[in-house]
Amino acid sequence: MSARGARSMASMPSTAGSSGRAGRDWASSAFVAGAAVAAAAVVAGSSEAHAFPGLASISVVDEMHSLPQLYSRQTVYDHLCELTATDYEMDDVMLQWRKARAAYELAMVAGTPAEKRQSLLREAYRIMKRCITLDRNNFEIHRWTGLIVVALAEFQTAAEQVNASFEASDEWRQAIEIEPSDAESQHLLGCWAYDQAAWSWWYRWYISAVYATPPDATWADARDSFAAAERIAPGAWKKNQLMLARTYEKLGETERAAQWAARALHGAIATPEDLKTHAAALELLKTLSPDRYQDAIDDGAQRALDDAEVPVRWSSAQTASGATPCPPRWRGTPVPSQGFASSST
């Protein structure tokens, strides 16, 4: 079978995109262990990899993407650059958008110099916009494009960031329209709405003076998006439950906020984001309901936080289950004190 044929057979929805919904335990999965060996063979350029061109398939690329404990973001990006080096692969949308995703995740690794981060993000955005023209019905392309747009806001003026806000939310809405069960895009849209709802009155006045139709998202909009993500993937990741708790608090529904803060303490702590989310949920619960807080302490919530062993090789752009995290804050924006909802986990 040719490499082209193998990739065609493997052109399936990203396992990383679906893993957040499935909540699989990658460490105990024999399938993933086998895929890791296959991916290692591909990266190493071994004779086995050349003997079985299917090893170079999109599914293996996705397994590499979802195993950052084994494969650094630089390794994944370099591998995709090699795969897309030929004329044919340059036209392969399924590989190209994954290359853009890899560029984004490499840019978001902590400690990446600003100049390199900007270059990678611009490359990612350029690739994604081309992919959209070739395949408008791929919800993952739209979802990741929105994330890239948000990250690029770091290098933009305040006015450009407002335009980026529109663009990012439009991308996530398109992703949801194409795939209503895309919990990650629902979550991201909730983060966006949460951020807009936090805007001060004077900034809303400024935006209204500049834009005919400024963003008008509310706390209720944020709640609806987070709730939709939870219905699609119940308990898939702690951050969505924490954001639901925060949103209910903003809406004045203290009891429901406390319930969701308590739920956010139940999931395993597997990533740095989980660690921060768990700590934030515990602190929020302490202010919302001292009784529930004490119950959580008695159930071992603080002990779980103290005993957590978080893999050190997770990049800041990846969560344990493979689910997309909230975007980074809109750096430089003169508004939300909260920043884009992810900035203060």
The alpha carbon torsion through 229, 233, 237, 240 (nearest 10 deg) reads: 20
Reported as a pLDDT band with limits 50, 70 and 90, residue 123 is: very high
The token pair at 321 is 């289950």
Say if residue 237 is in the same domain as residue 300. Answer: yes
Residue 204 is assigned to a structural domain of this protein: yes
* Mean per-residue pLDDT, 74-103: 88
| pLDDT attached to residue 62 | 92
pLDDT by residue (tens digit) across 26-59?
Answer: 333 333 444 444 444 444 443 333 333 333 568 8
* Secondary structure class of 208 (helix, strand, coil): helix
- In degrees, to the nearest 5, what angle opens at C-alpha 304 toward C-alphas 302 and 308? 125
Q: Looking at the structure, do residues 163 and 197 belong to the same domain, yes or no?
A: no
Please indicate, yes or no, whether residues 205 and 107 belong to a single structural domain of this protein.
no
Is 201 in the same domain as 313? yes
When pLDDT is cut at 50, 70 and 90, the band that residue 258 belongs to is: very high
Task: Indicate whether 333 belongs to any domain.
Answer: no
Q: How far apart are alpha carbons 171 and 144 in whole angstroms?
A: 8
Higher-confidence position of 270 and 12 = 270
- Closest Cα partner for 99 from 108, 88, 90? 90
DSSP classification of residue 212: S
At 249, the pLDDT band (50, 70, 90 cuts) reads: very high
Which pLDDT belongs to residue 288?
98
Q: Confirm whether 187 is domain-assigned.
A: no
Residue type, 264: A
Rounded Cα–Cα distance for residues 264 and 247 (Å): 14
Answer yes or no: do 56 and 28 share one domain.
yes
Is 79 inside a domain boundary?
Answer: no
Average pLDDT over residues 224-245: 96
331 found inside a domain: no
* Of the residues 179, 204, 222, the one at which a domain ends: 179
Residues 229 and 123 in one domain: no
Asked whether the beta carbons of 336 and 197 are under 8 A apart, the reply is no
Q: How far is CA 231 from CA 32, 83, 169, 186, 324, in A?
A: 27, 37, 20, 10, 16
Quote the DSSP letter at residue 86: S
Residue 133 and residue 111 share a domain: yes
Answer yes or no: do 222 and 295 share one domain.
yes
| Mean pLDDT for the stretch of residues 127-147 | 97
Structure-block tokens of residue 178: 């194409």
Instruction: Write out the residue range of the structural domain in which residue 314 sits.
Output: 192-323
Q: Is residue 87 part of a domain?
A: no
3-state secondary structure of 265: coil
- Is 83 among the domain residues? no
Which CATH number goes with the domain that contains 163? 1.25.40
214 shares its domain with 303: yes
Higher-confidence residue of 89 and 211: namely: 211
Number of domains the chain is built from: 3
In this structure, the answer to whether residues 203 and 302 fall within a common structural domain is yes
Indicate the residue among 132, 147, 179 that finishes a domain: 179
Whether 255 maps to a domain, the answer reads yes
Least-confidence region, from 101-115, 235-249, 282-296, 310-324: 310-324
Nearest CA among 239, 197, 232 for reference residue 218: 197
For residue 56, the model assigns a pLDDT of 54
Residue 125: the pLDDT is 98
Confidence of residue 89 (pLDDT cuts 50, 70, 90): low
Most confident of 48-62, 63-77, 173-187: 173-187
In this prediction, residue 132 carries a pLDDT of: 97
Last residue of a domain, one of 127, 146, 179: 179
Calpha distance 83→95 (Å, rounded)? 8
Question: pTM (2 decimals)?
Answer: 0.77
Is there a single domain that holds both residue 218 and residue 239? yes
Residues 229 and 303 in one domain: yes
Is residue 8 predicted with pLDDT exceeding 80? no
Tell me the average pLDDT of the chain: 79
